[in-house]
């Protein structure tokens, strides 16, 4: 089941390189609220990277900053290299050239991000028209290919349908086709399956995996469900309070999580120890092993580790300063003083 | 509570709520034409809710789960069929006759931001039903609201905050506090967890288990996501195209699913979680 990609090389050929990324939102007359702090990572071409974290951890802000779609109230620091070009301070016109061709996004609610007054096929065609000069016929063919790639079998019906005539799963596939119409090198999927049932979640995820295999598109898959990443993503980055607290290959991180937060997330789904007969997926529990507490609001964060108030492995240092990122093993990174405990 | 114990209790006690042959159709008009078409939302539904248990109602979107919930909560009248609640058949009762029953059945909705009045403070959200039903007055009203906030894990210091200042999970806690304020016997949660993170879902489910034990509350949890609910539900009913295709105790349904729709729902969860489990154990996932 594991994907056949090699592990990321030492960033020499990174498709996306993010260094010291910090984003804060400035409301007029109020203190700026940080949403991302000191985010560093590389993504190699053809990789599938999962970003795991709860709402408010900065996942979506990260996605928007890679696309240059942050609202005007946001302040961005650090640098974002896409194919070697620094995009942290380029003009909007340059972003418009790149968006859809080099980097594209699949949004959370396709029902809201698609226009209700345009046929699905025409909406996908618009993306192609913006970037390629081709005739109407050529464009229609490309749209049909995109729809097929997104796993749609009755292309004609979907092409002519308005969004309200499509089911939830079909809408997601149209959104995927739209994002992939120009074969972008990097696709960011921001919780594309959140409101779907598990059957559809797995189908949509598998459609994305097929696209990755066929075209070698690099994929960033944002989710809050760790189970969705197995057999799919090569690497996982766990975000908490605007930082990446743990990163590494999915197989290694899931087998032996280093950060207490990762450990807590993984425990929500019954692990190998609780196997019991036929109903192994539904091991009965009197209580679910939830992570206590909730994300501290950014404006109330102290000097210490942001996870400290909820952490079961906290030590004295945790309250005094925020841990730096360390690499205890090759390919793995973690920000925790007491990692592995 | 163990499932065997729950099953034994069901055998001894009559169901808290029972639906017999429930049917409901919605007639809609095609836009720009006079033609109309009917959607069979419920087709001959037979369903029981055991007292003091957590029953999960699962099914894909469009299977009729929410219509069933609103019929059981008496927000919609079914076209045919009977609804028995605490020993009486209520499906054809008038609004006036239903009024005293309404506090006994409470509902928590999916979209907490839309369900709670943004002009109310958190405490007012809880106080409103108490006021309407004349359960508390004056100073006691606020005291009781703060008690309830504490019970669902919200700090009473937040009494004056607007629901919109709370996070999704905290808002859903507030909605639960409002729902249990009138001490209902049946709490219906219609997809109340589906917008939340996994860890928040787990916290709220734990809260429900606590409330269930403390108030001998009966819960009907409607969901399309089995991953967490499947671990704690006592009974499971599977809906497909307007009918209940399978129901029984959780181990029974999960252990030996009969209907293809149940198998389909379970297969994808199991596929996902077997892969996850293998990865956790260190095999090739």
Would the CB atoms of A168 and B61 count as touching at under 8 Å?
A: yes
Q: What is the dihedral of CA B211, B214, B218, B221, to 10 degrees?
A: 20
Burial group, residue A83, by CB count within 10 angstroms (0-12, 13-18, 19+):
middle
pLDDT reading at A10 higher than 50: no
Task: Tell me the pLDDT of chain B averaged across its residues.
Answer: 87
What is residue A274's predicted lDDT score, i.e. its pLDDT? 43
pLDDT tens column, B132-175: 998 888 889 999 999 999 999 999 999 999 998 888 889 999 99
How many Cβ atoms sit within 10 Å of the Cβ of residue A213? 14
pLDDT tens column, A197-251: 777 888 889 999 999 999 999 999 999 889 889 989 999 999 999 999 999 999 9
What is residue A123's predicted lDDT score, i.e. its pLDDT? 93
pLDDT tens column, A133-143: 888 999 999 99
- Closest residue in B to A226 (Cα) is B276
| Dist CA B258 CA A1 (whole Å) | 28
Would the CB atoms of A230 and B275 count as touching at under 8 Å?
A: yes
- Extents of the domains making up chain B: 3-281
pLDDT band at B187 (very low <50, low <70, confident <90, very high): very high
| Mean pLDDT, range A60-83, rounded to an integer | 91
pLDDT band at A271 (very low <50, low <70, confident <90, very high): low
What is residue A5's predicted lDDT score, i.e. its pLDDT? 41
pLDDT band at A283 (very low <50, low <70, confident <90, very high): low
| Dist CA A91 CA A212 (whole Å) | 30
Say whether residue B50 is in contact with chain A using an 8 A CB cutoff: no
| Dist CA B85 CA B101 (whole Å) | 9
* Backbone torsions φ then ψ of B201, nearest 5 degrees: -55, -45
Residue with the larger pLDDT of the pair B25 and B2: B25
Q: Which residues of A touch B166 (CB under 8 A)?
A: none
Residue with the larger pLDDT of the pair B166 and A259: A259
| Dist CA B226 CA B251 (whole Å) | 13
| Mean pLDDT, range B239-256, rounded to an integer | 88
What's the length of chain B? 285
What is residue B258's predicted lDDT score, i.e. its pLDDT? 87
pTM strictly above 0.90: no
Lowest-pLDDT range, A67-71, A141-145, B251-255?
B251-255
Would the CB atoms of B194 and A275 count as touching at under 8 Å?
A: no
pLDDT reading at A275 higher than 80: no
What is residue B7's predicted lDDT score, i.e. its pLDDT? 53
What is residue B8's predicted lDDT score, i.e. its pLDDT? 54
Task: Tell me the pLDDT of chain A averaged across its residues.
Answer: 86
pLDDT reading at B244 higher than 90: yes
Q: Which residues of B touch A291 (CB under 8 A)?
A: 199, 202-203
* Backbone torsions φ then ψ of B25, nearest 5 degrees: -125, 145
| Mean pLDDT, range A271-292, rounded to an integer | 62
pLDDT reading at B93 higher than 50: yes
- Closest residue in B to A270 (Cα) is B277
pLDDT band at B1 (very low <50, low <70, confident <90, very high): very low
What is residue B171's predicted lDDT score, i.e. its pLDDT? 92
Residue with the larger pLDDT of the pair A191 and A52: A52
What is residue B212's predicted lDDT score, i.e. its pLDDT? 92
Interface confidence, given as ipTM, is 0.79
CATH class given for the domain over B3-281 = alpha beta
Would the CB atoms of B272 and A228 count as touching at under 8 Å?
A: yes
| Mean pLDDT, range A178-199, rounded to an integer | 85
What is residue B285's predicted lDDT score, i.e. its pLDDT? 39
The domains located in chain A, with CATH, are 16-102+184-334 (3.40.50.300)
pLDDT reading at B9 higher than 60: no
Nearest-Cα distance to chain A for B199, in Å, is 6
């Amino acid at each position: 089941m594991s994907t056949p990609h090699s592990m990321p090389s030492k960033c020499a050929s990174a498709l996306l390189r993010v260094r010291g990324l910090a984003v804060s939102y400035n409301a007029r007359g109020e203190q700026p609220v940080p949403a991302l702090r000191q985010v560093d990572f590389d993504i190699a071409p053809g990789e599938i990277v999962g970003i795991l974290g709860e709402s408010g951890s900065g996942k979506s802000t990260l996605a928007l900053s890679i696309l240059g779609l942050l609202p005007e109230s946001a302040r961005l620091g650090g640098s974002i290299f896409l194919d070697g070009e620094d995009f942290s301070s380029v003009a909007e016109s340059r972003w418009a050239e790149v968006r859809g061709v080099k980097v594209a996004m699949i949004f959370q609610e396709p029902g809201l991000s698609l226009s209700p007054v345009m046929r699905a096929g025409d909406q996908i065609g618009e993306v192609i028209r913006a970037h390629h000069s081709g005739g109407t016929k050529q464009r229609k063919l490309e749209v049909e290919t995109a729809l097929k790639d997104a796993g749609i079998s009755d292309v004609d019906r979907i092409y002519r349908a308005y969004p309200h005539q499509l089911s939830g799963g079909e809408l997601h596939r149209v959104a995927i086709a739209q994002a992939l119409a120009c074969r972008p090198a990097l696709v960011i999927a921001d919780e594309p399956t959140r409101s779907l049932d598990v059957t559809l979640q797995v189908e949509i995820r598998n459609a994305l995996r097929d696209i990755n295999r066929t075209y070698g598109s690099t994929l960033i898959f944002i989710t809050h469900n760790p189970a969705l990443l197995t057999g799919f993503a090569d690497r996982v980055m766990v975000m908490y309070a605007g930082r990446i607290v743990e990163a590494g290959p999915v197989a290694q991180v899931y087998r032996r999580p280093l950060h207490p937060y990762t450990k807590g997330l993984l425990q929500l789904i019954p692990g190998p120890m609780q196997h019991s007969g036929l109903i192994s997926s539904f091991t009965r529990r009197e209580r679910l092993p939830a992570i206590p507490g909730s994300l501290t609001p950014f404006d109330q964060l102290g000097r210490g580790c942001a996870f400290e108030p909820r952490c079961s492995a906290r030590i004295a240092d945790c309250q005094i300063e925020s841990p730096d990122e360390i690499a205890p093993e090759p390919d793995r990174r973690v920000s925790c003083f007491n990692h592995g405990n | 509570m163990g499932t065997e114990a729950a099953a034994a209790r069901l055998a001894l006690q009559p169901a808290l709520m029972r639906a017999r042959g429930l049917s409901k159709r919605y007639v809609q008009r095609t836009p720009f034409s006079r033609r109309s078409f009917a959607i069979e939302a419920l087709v001959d539904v037979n369903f029981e809710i055991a007292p003091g248990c957590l029953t999960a109602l699962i099914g894909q979107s469009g299977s009729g789960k929410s219509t069933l919930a609103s019929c059981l909560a008496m927000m919609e009248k079914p076209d045919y069929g009977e609804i028995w609640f605490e020993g009486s058949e209520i499906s054809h009762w008038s609004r006036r006759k239903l009024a005293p029953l309404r506090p006994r059945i409470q509902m928590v909705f999916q979209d907490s931001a839309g369900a709670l009045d943004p002009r109310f403070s958190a405490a007012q959200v809880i106080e409103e039903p108490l006021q309407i039903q004349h359960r508390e007055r004056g100073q006691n009203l606020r005291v009781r609201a703060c008690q309830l906030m504490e019970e669902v894990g919200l700090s009473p210091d937040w009494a004056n905050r607007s629901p919109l200042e709370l996070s999704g999970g905290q808002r859903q806690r507030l909605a639960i506090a409002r729902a249990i304020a009138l001490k209902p016997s049946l709490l219906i949660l219609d997809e109340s967890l589906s917008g939340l993170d996994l860890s928040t879902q787990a916290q709220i489910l734990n809260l429900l288990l606590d409330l269930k034990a403390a108030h001998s509350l009966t819960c009907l949890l409607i969901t399309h996501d089995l991953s967490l609910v499947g671990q704690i539900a006592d009974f499971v009913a599977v809906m497909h195209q307007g009918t209940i295709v399978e129901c029984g105790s959780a181990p029974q349904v999960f252990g030996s699913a009969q209907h293809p729709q149940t198998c389909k729902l379970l297969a994808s969860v199991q596929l996902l979680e077997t892969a996850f489990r293998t990865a956790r154990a260190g095999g090739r996932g």
